[in-house]
Amino acid sequence: MPQDAPRVLVVDDDPDVALLVKTVLQRRAGCEVLTAGDGRAAVDSLADFVPDVVVTDIEMPGLDGLELLAELRRSDPLVPVIVMTAHVSVEYAVSALRAQADEFLTKPLDNARLVEAVTRLAEEGRARRDAGRPKEVVLAIGAHPDDVEIGVGGLLSAHSAAGDSITILTLSRGARGGDADSRQHESLAAAELLGARLFVQDLVDTEISGGGATVRLIEEVVQEIQPTIVYTHSEHDRHQDHRAVSEATIAATRRVGTVACYQSPSATIDFRPTRFVRIDQYIEHKLRLLECFGSQTATRDYLDPDFVTATARYWSRFGGGAAVEPLEVVRETAEFIGAHELSRRES
């Protein structure tokens, strides 16, 4: 499937028509397509599937196409909707357009016109969403230099591309893993690539506490930047510093609406992500971020580009696309990034 493939919800009570539309859009436009047999099923599917475009029939049992359109306009006024019907009449077209449909197609469908309409509206819909999306204030917290970039380097690249404010807080200079000054300079280079602010503290590597001083250091940064989204280590990790930073972050960010934990190379099998974020178009930028940490690449196999890419590819089995970063969600009241980037799966 192409990178950043358009996500399309097709709604039709005729399974043959739904399959035809799905096949055409998958093969000719590279779309990711979900089908629903009626309007109510379509509404229910929106909890787990955020479409770029909805293609719906008008005449369906239960919640019909125009009622579905009205429901969509209440819940997501920015999503483009294509209405299709076998009735070629001015009355039907006027009804659809009055209900704020973006396009009106008649059956039998012209496949070329269908593909053109979906492709065009998906692009327009994403632009509308991005323009109307409030900017997030992101705080990414790691115990050592390169922790954040390994865990959410692709996601931070997406935040950067979306114009979000990014701050990286590194709680030690990583002296046990190499020359502390070199590692700090490497962190600064990676932050500059992201356009991020960087705070580097000097807690003792391998002796970071989960309370007290660590909580206060995090609270100071939280107070200064007022983040809306925080990324940090998971408690499910073999490294004691990672577990301690996770504990301290949860305590220090108790008033932040969205907090999520990323995977480290030392994560245990108990790491159980509940959110899978596609980073297809940002994987190359993530690799560039990790190249900044040259002092580590000779001794840390997990920084090898093939390893990083393979890990992102593995998680794509849950999140779709070609590359994914997994997150354990602690709490969530804000989107992580533009809605079309996200794919939710339950644990």
Domains belonging to the chain, first-starting first, are 7-132 (3.40.50.2300), 137-344 (3.40.50.10320)
Burial class (CB in 10 A: 0-12, 13-18, 19+), 117: buried
Please state, in angstroms and rounded to a whole number, the distance separating the CA atoms of residues 179 and 161. Answer: 32
What is this structure's pTM? 0.66
| 107: its two tokens | 């059956």
Identity of the residue numbered 289 = L
Q: Do residues 101 and 83 touch, judged by C-beta distance below 8 A?
A: yes
Please state, in angstroms and rounded to a whole number, the distance separating the CA atoms of residues 72 and 53. Answer: 11
State yes or no: cis peptide before 108, omega within 30 of 0. Answer: yes
The per-residue pLDDT for 83 is: 87
Q: Do residues 141 and 132 touch, judged by C-beta distance below 8 A?
A: no
Question: In the predicted model, is pLDDT for residue 344 greater than 50?
Answer: no
- Mean pLDDT, residues 314-339 taken together: 78
- State the residue for tokens 């940064």: 221
The per-residue pLDDT for 345 is: 35
pLDDT tens digits for range 216-238: 999 999 999 999 999 999 999 99
